[in-house]
Structures are given as structure tokens and as C-alpha cells.
Structure 1
């Protein structure tokens, strides 16, 4: 019996929900499924793709930390998004480069190619294109990752 069908949502905090929604709409063609204002908090469910919801809470008092290096960000280091295809991977890279949210460096880790981006609140994301038919077990050690030139 399969017990889970994926991750339902990831909760994020933001001081500016409208800005965050604009970013995810522009880049990922996301849509807001629900937007609620109550007392001192606003919540929006941002649908960024199949089974991928950002549950974004706007809190005026939230203090966004400065961008920090990988593995020095606390318990939630980054969020990885699956591109729907290699073409979608390239399109997302292009969109994120156009707005300065990524340097566009693509890394081949074996079963996937990926690039990193930073959203308006400093949360790092990765976009991955999973190579068809290549299993996770072929993942390379970081010392063997390769930079790929897509330009």
C-alpha cells in the first residue's frame, strides 16, 4: 500500500505577499488557489505546479535573513522544483536569468541537471530536469558534478 502521494505544501514566510506572488506568477505561471486575510496574518496558497503548493504567510513583523551559503540556512535549506521537460527547464532558466534571480549555471549531477535561483525573500530554489530513464542511484558525488554550457 502506498502511503503518501507527494508533499502537499511547503510553508514560507514573507513580509510582502503580493511581491512573492508576482515573482512566482511571472516565472512559474503559478496561480493563487486561496487568499485569506485574518487579523495580523495573510495567507495565500500559491500553486506552482502539480502537487506543489507554497503556503505563503505574510507577516509584517517577519525579519528576512540575509542570503546565506548552502547548509548554513537552518533546517530548511532550499526547495527543489521538477521541470516538466528539458524544454521547460531551459525556459525557466531563461526567465530567471532575465530578472536576475539566477546566474544560470547548470550542473549535471548524473540523473539530473539543475540550476539554483533566489526568490524575492532570499529563499533558494533549485530547478531540476530529471533525465528520462536515468535512476537516482546514478547520482554522482559532488566532486564529480559537471558544469554544463547551455548557451
Structure 2
């Protein structure tokens, strides 16, 4: 398998216009696709050539309660924050300045040793982080475990461990089917 990035993160909003204004106009991400019908919208914004963020607009969804990035909570929970990579510190400063000028809370730039980050929230209270690499530091080329008490599975190392799951039997080509779903109408949309 060869992963290429996050095709899209699908999040929810009650106000698609405010969401587009924030992600497209303030953060400068292109709105590249939109699906919709009465009571349903699903719009996609381009983060990079491989990655997108998408939003469903649901009229009865409420913004999530504001929660600081990385602070533990109790009960059912699946998502803490999304960190979007940028090229360098100049990009972090530009994002920070733009968010601050628009009246959004934004943190100072934080040095995590391997990345520099700035934190904020979108109009839906979705916790967001923007990060760039620290020059000369690349934890992907030399993985490192800073946890003084790593879990047993983490102690097995950074590389995928064979034999931990049953081997998959490839689906024969003759049995491979792809079924139609939402979005096929995008290939038929003509520019007006």
C-alpha cells in the first residue's frame, strides 16, 4: 500500500457560508468541489495537492464546546484537533497575523522541538493547529520515542510488524466492483 496523504477530513458545520469565509477567504484554501441538495451540502477545500478538508452542512448541528488542544476529557470522544502543515515560520506568522486581524483567538508560536506551531479555532470551534518543521529536524527519517514508559506495542519499533493481523486474501479482479455514490454529479458539472 502507498498512502498519499489525507484525501479529506470530513467535519460538520451549521453555517457553510461562515465556514467557507474562514477556510477559503481567511486561510486561502481553494473551494474545489461542492455537493448539495435540499437539507444536504458537502463542500471540499484544498489544503495541498494531496490533502483536503471537507464540511457537511447539517442545519441542526451545533458548534462543539470549545476545548483547548490536547487537554484530556472524559467520556466518549474521538477528535482533539487537526494540525495543518505549512512550509516555514513565515507561513505561521502570516496565518497568526491573519487570524488575529480577523478577531479570532490565536496562540503565540510554540516551539515543540521538532515543529513550530500556532493554535486557534474555526467558526465551528474546531480546534486547529498550523505546524512547520524545525529546520534540521525530521522525526520521519529518524523516528524517536520520547515517552519514558512507552506502551508494549510502541516498544516493538516504528516499522509495521508482520504477523499481528491475519493475511488478507486479494479480491480477484473478476469480483471487483465499484458502486455509484454521492459526488458522481461533479464530473457532469459544466462551468456556467
Task: Give 1:132 deviation, angstroms.
Answer: 2.7
Task: Give 1:79 deviation, angstroms.
Answer: 0.3
Of Structure 1 and Structure 2, the greater strand share is in 1
Q: Alpha-carbon deviations, 1:11-67, whole Å to 9, x = none?
A: 000000111011012332111111121232111111133322111110101122221
Q: Which has the higher contact order (CA 8 A, sep 6+)?
A: 1
- Count the aligned residue pairs: 140
Q: Distance in 1 between matches of 2:22 and 2:11?
A: 14
- Under a length normalisation based on structure 2, what TM-score does the superposition of the two structures give? 0.66
Label 1:34 to 1:107 Cα distance change in 2 as closer, same or farther (>3 A): same
Q: Are 1:46 and 1:55, in contact at CA under 8 Å, matched by a contact in 2? A: yes
Aligned to 1:52: 51
Aligned to 1:122: 125
Aligned to 1:22: 21
Q: 1:94 aligns with which of 94, 97, 100?
A: 97
Q: Distance in 2 between matches of 1:112 and 1:32?
A: 28
Task: Give 1:138 deviation, angstroms.
Answer: 6.6
Aligned to 1:145: none
What residue ranges of structure 2 are gaps of 5+ in the alignment?
148-192
Deviates more, 1:32-41 or 1:5-14: 32-41
- Secondary structure of residue in 2 paired with 1:135: coil
What residue ranges of structure 1 are gaps of 5+ in the alignment?
142-151
Label 1:33 to 1:103 Cα distance change in 2 as closer, same or farther (>3 A): closer
Label 1:140 to 1:3 Cα distance change in 2 as closer, same or farther (>3 A): same
Aligned to 1:147: none
- Under a length normalisation based on structure 1, what TM-score does the superposition of the two structures give? 0.82
* Higher alpha-carbon Rg: 2
Q: Distance in 2 between matches of 1:24 and 1:100?
A: 15
Q: Distance in 2 between matches of 1:52 and 1:71?
A: 27
Q: Distance in 2 between matches of 1:138 and 1:101?
A: 35
